[in-house]
Amino acid sequence: MVHVPKASPINRTQNSKPSHLPLLLPSGPQLKVKPRRTAHIQPCAIELSAMLTCWAASGDLASVDKCKESAAKLHECMQKPKIGGKARAPTINYHLSRL
């Protein structure tokens, strides 16, 4: 047998407001929040992973000959210009900190 507690009756006084009324907030400046950003794509993540895997497999971080190919690919990827480099606008946190 499962014990189910009895619901206590709700005590309403004359000063209490019913819960179905909307909550009214004081009016002020309208703040807008930007939607969440999509996941940031790392352009050289594959090359960096290959380099780190090569270092882990060789067991020596100073081994230049064994990881020469992966190091060259990583260096080549890092030299490419970034795509979509637009100027950043101040964030909502910056504006909120000024209030």
User: How is the chain classified by DSSP, letter by letter?
Assistant: ----PPPPPP---TTPPPTTSPPPPPP-PPP--PPPPPPPPPTTHHHHHHHHHHHHHHT-TT-TTTTHHHHHHHHHHHHSPPS--PPPPPPHHHHHHT-
pLDDT score at 73: 93
Consecutive sets of 10 residues in the chain, 99 residues long: mean pLDDT of each?
60 58 71 77 88 88 82 92 69 80
pLDDT score at 5: 60
* The two three-digit tokens of residue 98, written as one number: 């000024």
How many residues in the chain? 99
